[in-house]
Amino acid sequence: MPALTNVMDQPSNTVVMRKNIEESALPEKEYQEFKTQIFEAIWRDLDPLEEEIENNEHVPHEIVDPLLRNMGAFGLLIPKRYGGIGLSTRQYLPILSEFSKIQGGIRVLVHVHNSASHGLLEAASEEMLQEILPDVAQGRKSVAFGLTEPDHGTGMDIGTTAVRDGDDYVINGRKWLITNSDIASHFIIICKTDSSAGAAGISAILVDRGTPGFTITPLPETMGCKGGEHGQLDLVNVRVPANRIIGKEGQGLTQMEELLEISRVFIAATSLGTAERSFELSLAFAKRRVTFGKPIGSRQAIQRYLAEMGTDIYALRGMIDDAANKWDQGRRIPAEASMCKLFGLEAVGRVTDRALLIHGGIGYTRAHRIERLYRDARLNWLEEGPPTIQIAVAAGKFLSGYDWNA
């Protein structure tokens, strides 16, 4: 998912509370049992599919979707009253990190499905939630998020428009790189409902797959996270009822900033999982690989790599935990989320680089999972906005008086 760039426009503040605080969390014992079960299922059922997905550059949904459904992965952040598992953000993060250790196409699917449904939960009307979430929680439906455009920048620069015509909106525009475009039943389309109103002219509208005038085209395969589908959406005079607006007209920017905020922490958790797996594999390799009569782990050069990798992982864990804690208390975390995302991508970049060095030449081949983890991690630069955007958001908040120590 993408970036928004207008944070400098927000009023300065100390602590901003979210309007819709979803206070769902499993009781601790129930959570620990659920976590144990889903971790086991990830490794037992999904990890063995890696080679097939990497070879075919395709996630076999007929196999993967029932497995995800059985383990509850489609409804992780959806409250129990809509048929979901009902995890809090803090409870969800370790599970997303675990998914980030296995094949990346599966992680992308799980992340976008859960993140978009979480965004809907925070912003949509009760009527819309009742209609959609029970099916989303079971993976019978899926929501994707359409912000990024081929012809415009992200945020205030978007070119997609929705013009009110009687009881409908008529949408025109183009989106691309939209994850899960092969499986999504619904798309949150960010568009301008009033081009003269600045930030207040941006809205989010839910568009059903199959609406006349709405075409979805697959884009070329990606470097990593193979099998994740990221399509182009063409909307030509797409007519949707006015009640498909999410929240109220003109609230799109605020809603999306809120969605992206927590989603940036989700991407940081992805960086963490990939870094943890790379570290585990590197540690084992450093003990196993013998040169000049000694394991390479006994050499100071390799020890330095390992210590630096551990330091990055330890620091990232702490940041994510703090940000998620604040979010679960109902706080907005604009600077913290961008810093988590920024540090996370830098940390996983360093860790996967060092993992490759520890493995030597064989690490560059598909004989070891380091090669796949290295490629998968590069998506973390882009999802929910590239580093320059995270810098602009965090610095913009600090310059406008945001007190993150409060």
Ligand X SMILES: Cc1cc2nc3c(=O)[nH]c(=O)nc-3n(C[C@H](O)[C@H](O)[C@H](O)COP(=O)(O)OP(=O)(O)OC[C@H]3O[C@@H](n4cnc5c(N)ncnc54)[C@H](O)[C@@H]3O)c2cc1C
Least distance in angstroms from the C-beta of 216 to ligand X: 12
Least distance in angstroms from the C-beta of 362 to ligand X: 28
Contact status: 373 vs ligand X (CB under 6 A)? no
Whole-angstrom distance, CA of residue 306 vs CA of residue 283? 7
Which range touches ligand X (CB under 6 A), out of 24-32, 253-261, 309-317, 386-394? 386-394
Contact status: 344 vs ligand X (CB under 6 A)? no
Burial of 13 (0-12, 13-18, 19+ CB in 10 A): middle
- Here the tokens at position 275 are 């870094």
Name residue 241's beta-bridge partners.
168
Least distance in angstroms from the C-beta of 157 to ligand X: 8
Residues contacting residue 285 through CB under 8 Å, at least 6 positions apart? 296, 358, 359, 368
What is Dmax (Cα atoms) for the chain?
A: 80
Q: Which residue, 143 or 358, is less far from ligand X as judged by CB?
A: 143
- Here the tokens at position 343 are 């540090």
How many CB atoms are closer than 10 A to CB 6?
Answer: 18
Q: Which residue, 146 or 252, is less far from ligand X as judged by CB?
A: 146
Among all chains, which residue has been given the structure tokens 């493995």?
A: 359
Kindly determine how many residues on this chain lie close enough to bind ligand X according to the rule CB under 6 A: 24
Whole-angstrom distance, CA of residue 253 vs CA of residue 266? 20
Name residue 76's beta-bridge partners.
none
Task: Tell me which residue of 128, 140, 157 sits closest to 241, measured CA to CA.
Answer: 128
- Tell which one of 388, 398, 399, 403 touches ligand X (CB under 6 A): 388
- Tell which one of 382, 395, 400, 404 touches ligand X (CB under 6 A): 382
Q: Which residue, 230 or 326, is less far from ligand X as judged by CB?
A: 230
Q: Which residue, 64 or 296, is less far from ligand X as judged by CB?
A: 64
Task: Tell me which residue of 317, 316, 313, 291 sits closest to 302, measured CA to CA.
Answer: 291
- Here the tokens at position 340 are 């988590």
- Tell which one of 201, 297, 385, 396 touches ligand X (CB under 6 A): 385
Contact status: 386 vs ligand X (CB under 6 A)? yes
* Residue with nearest beta carbon to ligand X: 2
Least distance in angstroms from the C-beta of 398 to ligand X: 17
Contact status: 227 vs ligand X (CB under 6 A)? no
Q: Which residue, 260 or 296, is less far from ligand X as judged by CB?
A: 260
Contact status: 394 vs ligand X (CB under 6 A)? no
Q: Which residue, 144 or 373, is less far from ligand X as judged by CB?
A: 144
* Contact in structure between 147 and 230 (CB atoms under 8 Å): no
Contact status: 222 vs ligand X (CB under 6 A)? yes
Which range touches ligand X (CB under 6 A), out of 20-28, 241-249, 380-388, 398-406? 380-388
> Which positions from 76 to 115 touch ligand X by CB under 6 A, shown as an x/- string?
------------------------------------x---
Q: Which residue, 312 or 383, is less far from ligand X as judged by CB?
A: 383
Least distance in angstroms from the C-beta of 108 to ligand X: 7
**Active-site residue flag, 384:** yes
Contact status: 306 vs ligand X (CB under 6 A)? no
Choosing from 229, 249, 258, 384, which is the catalytic residue? 384
| Torsion of Cα atoms, 271 then 379 then 374 then 98, to 10° | 40
Element (H, E) at 61: helix 61-70
User: From the DSSP assignment, how many helices (H) and strands (E) are in the chain?
Assistant: 11, 9
Q: What residues between 144 and 183 interact with ligand X by CB under 6 A?
A: 144-148, 153-154, 177-179
Element (H, E) at 207: strand 202-208
Q: At residue 330, what is the residue type?
A: G
State the Cα angle at 394 between 389 and 395, rounded to 5°.
Answer: 95
Q: Which residue, 8 or 315, is less far from ligand X as judged by CB?
A: 8
Whole-angstrom distance, CA of residue 112 vs CA of residue 65? 14
Q: How far apart are the first and last CA of the chain?
A: 29
Least distance in angstroms from the C-beta of 227 to ligand X: 11
Contact status: 247 vs ligand X (CB under 6 A)? no
- CA distances 240 to 88, 123, 148, 199, Å, are 33, 18, 20, 22
Tell me the catalytic residues.
384
Binding site for ligand X (CB under 6 A): 1-3, 5, 112, 144-148, 153-154, 177-179, 222, 230, 379, 382-383, 385-386, 388-389
